[in-house]
Structure 1
């Protein structure tokens, strides 16, 4: 998988509690920053949702402020 400039982050999908709930989707764009793993950091328009996405599509959510609890399951879909 290659690095893309824009992704959709998909929250709330998969098995387990809330699996029947609709997906929450947030569009993010590549920033000039890199995350702790050395991969590009992506942000939504507000700058609140931050994610490091590897070239294999692995997502690591990053805190943009205090008292945040990252979602356990997030998928990245390239746009």
Structure 2
């Protein structure tokens, strides 16, 4: 059974601290056929596989999806 919520951990950047965003499962599926998760604003969207692999999805024009994001399932 897949988690309903994940914590997405974005890679460290030299000029910034590590970013963490909580996302919740939506009714949508991504290009790989896995569930899409989104933050409350809908800006952060990610397809997460059954092996917790993350594919960031653009939510608007001009976005360059970040690579190397890790997903950690959250227990409810």
CA shift at 1:12, angstroms? Answer: 1.8
1:42 to 26, 31, 37: 37
1:29 to 24, 27, 44: 24
CA shift at 1:22, angstroms? Answer: 2.3
Give the root-mean-square deviation of aligned CA atoms. 1.5
TM-score, normalised via structure 2 length:
0.89
How many residue pairs match? The answer is 74
Match of 2:4 in 1: 5
User: Is the aligned partner of 1:52 residue 2:43?
Assistant: no
Match of 1:72 in 2: 67
Question: Where in structure 1 are there 5+ consecutive unaligned residues?
Answer: none
Q: Any conservation in 2 of the 1:7–1:76 contact (CA below 8 Å)?
A: yes
TM-score, normalised via structure 1 length:
0.85
Aligned structure 1 segments of 4 or more residues deviating by more than 2 angstroms: none
In the alignment, the residues of structure 2 paired with residue 36 and residue 72 of structure 1 have an alpha-carbon distance, to the nearest angstrom, of 16
Question: Where in structure 2 are there 5+ consecutive unaligned residues?
Answer: none
